Structure formats: C-alpha cells, structure tokens
Amino acid sequence: MMERKGAKSFFQQLVRNRRSIRRYLDKPVDREKILTCIEAARLAPSADNVQPWRFLIIDDPELKDRLAAEVFSGIYSISRFAGKAPLIIVILARLDIIANRIGKQIQNIHYYLIDIGIAGEHLVLQAQELGLGTCWIGWFNIRRARKILKIPRKYKIVSMMAVGYYEKRPSKEKKRKTLEDIAWFNKIK
C-alpha cells in the first residue's frame, strides 16, 4: 500500500482545495492579480524551452459579453457560465516553433499541448492561492472566437479559462482514484 503519512504541505492543501468554478461574484479582478497568475504560467517549463503559450486576457465587460454570447451559444451553451466570470483568458499556442513541429513528426506527440497544460496549471494554482476561482473551457466556438478577437492564423486557440472571485462554500473531498490505482514501482500491476 502506498500511503503517505504526515501533515499536508501548503502545496498539497492548495491542490486539494482547487476546484473548477462555475459561479462567480460580480466583482472585478485587479489586473495585478491577473499578471501574477500569468507570471506563474510564464515560468512553467516547456519542451526545448520554446514557451509556446500566449494569453489574451479579456476583461473589457462589453468585449467579454459579446465574446461569451457568440462562442458559448448553440451546441456550446453548456459553457455559457463562463460569460458570468469577470474575465476570460484565451489560451493560445504559437505553432511556428520548430521543436514542436519536429516533436510531432518524430514522436507523434503534440508537445505544445503538454507545455500549455503545465503553464495553465501554474496559472490556476496561482489563482487559487490569490483567492480566485478558475475553470478550463474547451467547449466553445473557436471560429467565432478567432473572428471576434481578430486572432492571427499564427496562433492556435487551445482553450479558454474563466477567472474570478467566487463564493466560498464548504467543499467535500474530491473523488479521486487511489495511489495504488494509478502508480506502480518498477512494473505495471
């Protein structure tokens, strides 16, 4: 049995308390806090240090509302909650980076997605520490987002993230698989 004993570290508490938030308070987020989150993402490691991530922060209420109305409608309406967040971060990838293209050809792995996942996780954990809630959004109308935000073709829209303050509620333990179910030493069980 792979049981860990002892007090939970600050990091473990941060990870345990982080949730995908779908209800936000109508309270603007200070840009300094957002830049602190982006700085955490900027410091993330990446394959061959190519740093493919780019972040377009939408905090203008009129633009955010227009974007939300367009990209979270129809078959994408399950994500409409994101329009209630004070801001939306559009997560982009810069794809003209040789290391990512070669990695895709040789290994058949899109390394930029791994890199962006790491950077995004840095962002959400920093947001959690600052008292902000986040939710990754992958279900939205990419074509409309590109058009509304006038995003050049050299950038690929990977995902969006709703960010804002949320009402703190008592949270129950996340349902997760046990360590024994997901990790083994030296051979697969």
Residue 29: what pLDDT? 97
Length of the chain in terms of residues written: 189
Nearest to 124 by CA among 30, 20, 35: 20
Helix, strand or coil for residue 182?
A: helix
Q: Give domain limits for the chain.
A: 24-167
Rounded-to-integer distance, Cα 56 and Cα 45, Å: 20
Structure tokens at 83: 């329009």
Contact yes or no for 115/52 (Cβ under 8 A): yes
Rounded-to-integer distance, Cα 110 and Cα 104, Å: 5
Three-state secondary structure readout of 104-148: HHHHCCCHHHHHHHHHHHHHHHHHHHCCCEEEEECCCCHHHHHHH
Which CATH number describes the domain made up of 24-167? 3.40.109.10
For the entire predicted model, the pTM comes to: 0.89
Per-residue pLDDT of the chain (189 residues; tens, 9 = 90+): 455 565 689 998 888 888 999 999 999 999 999 999 999 999 999 988 889 999 999 999 999 999 999 999 999 999 999 999 999 999 999 976 666 667 667 777 788 899 999 999 999 999 999 999 999 999 999 999 999 999 999 999 999 999 999 987 766 777 889 889 989 899 988
Nearest to 84 by CA among 137, 120, 39, 129: 137
Which neighbouring-strand residues pair with 13? none
- What CA dihedral angle connects 181, 123, 59 and 159, to 10 degrees? -50
